[in-house]
Amino acid sequence: MENESIESLKIAIIYGKGKVDGEEKEGKIERIYKDEEDTAHVFYLKDFLQTHFLDDSELQSATTTNNVNTMLFELQRLGHIIFTENTSAGAHLKEGSLFVPSNRSERQNMAFESFRKELEREDYHLYVFTNLRRDEEGFIVGMQKICTAKDIRYLTAPDDERE
Protein backbone atom coordinates (compact mmCIF):
# COMPACT_ATOMS: atom_id res chain seq x y z
CA MET A 1 0.00 0.00 0.00
CA GLU A 2 3.02 2.29 0.15
CA ASN A 3 2.48 3.29 -3.48
CA GLU A 4 -0.99 4.63 -2.76
CA SER A 5 -1.46 8.37 -2.77
CA ILE A 6 -0.99 10.39 0.38
CA GLU A 7 -4.63 11.37 0.06
CA SER A 8 -5.61 7.77 0.92
CA LEU A 9 -3.89 8.17 4.32
CA LYS A 10 -5.51 9.40 7.46
CA ILE A 11 -2.38 9.47 9.65
CA ALA A 12 1.29 8.63 9.21
CA ILE A 13 3.85 8.25 12.00
CA ILE A 14 7.58 8.42 11.36
CA TYR A 15 9.09 6.74 14.38
CA GLY A 16 11.93 8.32 16.34
CA LYS A 17 14.50 6.71 18.62
CA GLY A 18 13.53 4.26 21.30
CA LYS A 19 11.54 1.10 21.35
CA VAL A 20 7.80 1.14 20.83
CA ASP A 21 5.98 -1.76 22.43
CA GLY A 22 9.31 -3.56 22.79
CA GLU A 23 10.26 -3.19 19.13
CA GLU A 24 12.88 -0.91 17.52
CA LYS A 25 11.04 1.16 14.90
CA GLU A 26 13.32 4.16 14.41
CA GLY A 27 12.92 5.57 10.90
CA LYS A 28 9.97 3.34 10.00
CA ILE A 29 6.82 4.92 8.63
CA GLU A 30 3.51 3.63 9.97
CA ARG A 31 0.63 4.45 7.62
CA ILE A 32 -2.94 4.43 8.81
CA TYR A 33 -5.24 4.44 5.80
CA LYS A 34 -8.74 5.84 5.54
CA ASP A 35 -11.62 3.42 5.79
CA GLU A 36 -14.27 3.33 3.10
CA GLU A 37 -16.57 5.20 5.47
CA ASP A 38 -14.08 7.84 6.59
CA THR A 39 -14.45 9.48 10.00
CA ALA A 40 -12.55 11.86 12.29
CA HIS A 41 -8.83 11.49 13.04
CA VAL A 42 -9.56 10.91 16.73
CA PHE A 43 -11.29 7.58 16.06
CA TYR A 44 -8.45 6.27 13.89
CA LEU A 45 -5.90 7.30 16.51
CA LYS A 46 -7.87 5.82 19.41
CA ASP A 47 -8.19 2.52 17.54
CA PHE A 48 -4.47 2.52 16.74
CA LEU A 49 -3.51 3.26 20.34
CA GLN A 50 -5.53 0.29 21.60
CA THR A 51 -2.70 -1.92 20.31
CA HIS A 52 0.28 0.48 20.16
CA PHE A 53 2.25 2.53 22.72
CA LEU A 54 0.68 0.50 25.50
CA ASP A 55 3.67 1.19 27.77
CA ASP A 56 3.27 5.00 27.68
CA SER A 57 0.79 5.97 30.40
CA GLU A 58 0.55 9.66 29.41
CA LEU A 59 -0.32 8.80 25.83
CA GLN A 60 -2.77 6.10 26.91
CA SER A 61 -4.47 8.50 29.34
CA ALA A 62 -4.84 10.99 26.47
CA THR A 63 -7.05 8.43 24.70
CA THR A 64 -9.69 8.84 27.41
CA THR A 65 -10.51 12.22 25.90
CA ASN A 66 -11.80 12.92 22.43
CA ASN A 67 -9.09 15.54 21.92
CA VAL A 68 -6.99 14.39 18.97
CA ASN A 69 -4.59 17.32 19.43
CA THR A 70 -3.58 16.05 22.89
CA MET A 71 -2.85 12.61 21.44
CA LEU A 72 -0.86 14.10 18.55
CA PHE A 73 1.09 16.29 20.98
CA GLU A 74 1.95 13.27 23.15
CA LEU A 75 3.17 11.28 20.13
CA GLN A 76 5.35 14.23 19.10
CA ARG A 77 6.60 14.58 22.69
CA LEU A 78 7.85 11.00 22.44
CA GLY A 79 9.98 12.02 19.44
CA HIS A 80 7.81 10.84 16.56
CA ILE A 81 6.81 12.85 13.49
CA ILE A 82 3.09 12.76 12.78
CA PHE A 83 1.27 13.64 9.58
CA THR A 84 -2.50 14.02 9.39
CA GLU A 85 -4.23 14.21 6.01
CA ASN A 86 -6.76 17.06 6.13
CA THR A 87 -7.99 17.54 2.55
CA SER A 88 -11.67 18.44 2.52
CA ALA A 89 -13.97 16.40 0.29
CA GLY A 90 -14.19 17.99 -3.15
CA ALA A 91 -11.33 20.42 -2.44
CA HIS A 92 -8.86 21.33 -5.17
CA LEU A 93 -6.03 21.91 -2.69
CA LYS A 94 -4.44 19.00 -0.82
CA GLU A 95 -3.74 19.80 2.83
CA GLY A 96 -2.18 18.15 5.82
CA SER A 97 -0.64 18.85 9.21
CA LEU A 98 2.81 17.84 10.40
CA PHE A 99 3.88 17.63 14.03
CA VAL A 100 7.68 17.63 14.11
CA PRO A 101 9.77 17.19 17.29
CA SER A 102 12.92 19.26 17.65
CA ASN A 103 15.24 16.28 18.17
CA ARG A 104 15.32 13.77 15.34
CA SER A 105 17.75 11.02 14.48
CA GLU A 106 19.51 10.68 11.14
CA ARG A 107 17.49 7.56 10.32
CA GLN A 108 14.23 9.34 11.17
CA ASN A 109 15.25 12.34 9.04
CA MET A 110 15.99 10.08 6.08
CA ALA A 111 12.49 8.59 6.31
CA PHE A 112 11.04 12.09 6.82
CA GLU A 113 12.78 13.33 3.64
CA SER A 114 11.38 10.38 1.68
CA PHE A 115 7.89 11.14 2.99
CA ARG A 116 8.37 14.89 2.32
CA LYS A 117 9.17 14.07 -1.32
CA GLU A 118 5.89 12.14 -1.56
CA LEU A 119 4.07 15.17 -0.18
CA GLU A 120 5.87 17.43 -2.65
CA ARG A 121 5.04 15.17 -5.62
CA GLU A 122 1.38 15.38 -4.67
CA ASP A 123 1.62 19.16 -4.11
CA TYR A 124 0.58 19.23 -0.46
CA HIS A 125 0.06 22.43 1.49
CA LEU A 126 0.93 21.99 5.13
CA TYR A 127 0.41 23.31 8.61
CA VAL A 128 3.71 22.50 10.29
CA PHE A 129 3.98 22.49 14.08
CA THR A 130 7.53 22.27 15.43
CA ASN A 131 9.19 22.24 18.83
CA LEU A 132 5.92 21.76 20.70
CA ARG A 133 6.20 21.61 24.49
CA ARG A 134 4.19 22.46 27.59
CA ASP A 135 5.07 25.68 29.36
CA GLU A 136 5.05 26.13 33.14
CA GLU A 137 1.29 26.77 33.07
CA GLY A 138 0.54 23.65 31.03
CA PHE A 139 -0.09 25.42 27.72
CA ILE A 140 1.23 23.79 24.57
CA VAL A 141 3.62 26.23 22.90
CA GLY A 142 5.87 25.97 19.87
CA MET A 143 6.20 27.19 16.32
CA GLN A 144 3.76 27.03 13.42
CA LYS A 145 4.31 27.53 9.71
CA ILE A 146 1.94 27.34 6.76
CA CYS A 147 3.80 26.26 3.64
CA THR A 148 4.20 23.71 0.86
CA ALA A 149 6.03 20.40 1.20
CA LYS A 150 8.91 21.86 -0.82
CA ASP A 151 9.31 24.65 1.76
CA ILE A 152 10.08 22.23 4.61
CA ARG A 153 13.22 20.74 3.06
CA TYR A 154 15.23 22.53 5.77
CA LEU A 155 13.56 20.34 8.41
CA THR A 156 14.93 17.15 6.89
CA ALA A 157 18.47 18.43 6.37
CA PRO A 158 21.28 17.00 8.54
CA ASP A 159 21.76 18.79 11.89
CA ASP A 160 24.75 20.81 10.65
CA GLU A 161 22.78 22.12 7.65
CA ARG A 162 19.60 23.17 9.50
CA GLU A 163 18.80 26.83 10.02
CA distances from 154 to 28, 104, 119, 122 (A): 20, 13, 15, 19
Written as one letter, the residue type at 79 is G
- Residues 70, 124, 3, CA angle at the centre, nearest 5°? 95
Please give the order of strands across the beta sheet that includes 9-14: 29-33, 9-14, 81-85, 94-100, 124-134, 140-148
Residue 121 is predicted with a pLDDT of 95
Query: Could you tell me which of 155, 160, 157, 108 has the C-alpha nearest to residue 131?
Result: 155
Domain ranges of the chain: 6-161
Would you mind telling me the total number of residues written for the chain in this entry? 163
Q: What is the pLDDT along the chain (163 residues), one digit of tens a residue?
A: 456 889 999 999 999 998 898 899 999 999 999 998 888 999 999 999 999 999 888 888 888 887 898 899 999 999 999 999 999 878 889 999 999 998 899 999 999 999 999 999 999 999 999 999 999 998 999 999 999 999 998 887 765 555 5
For the residues of 3-22, what is the DSSP string, one character each? TS-GGGEEEEEE--SSEETT
**What is the pLDDT at residue 1?**
47
Cα 64 versus chain centre, distance:
20
Q: Return the DSSP state at 61.
A: H
Task: Write out the E strands in the chain.
Answer: 9-14, 19-20, 23-24, 29-33, 81-85, 94-100, 124-134, 140-148
CA pair distance 114, 134, nearest whole angstrom: 29
Report how far residue 108's alpha carbon sits from residue 27's, in angstroms, rounded to the nearest whole number: 4
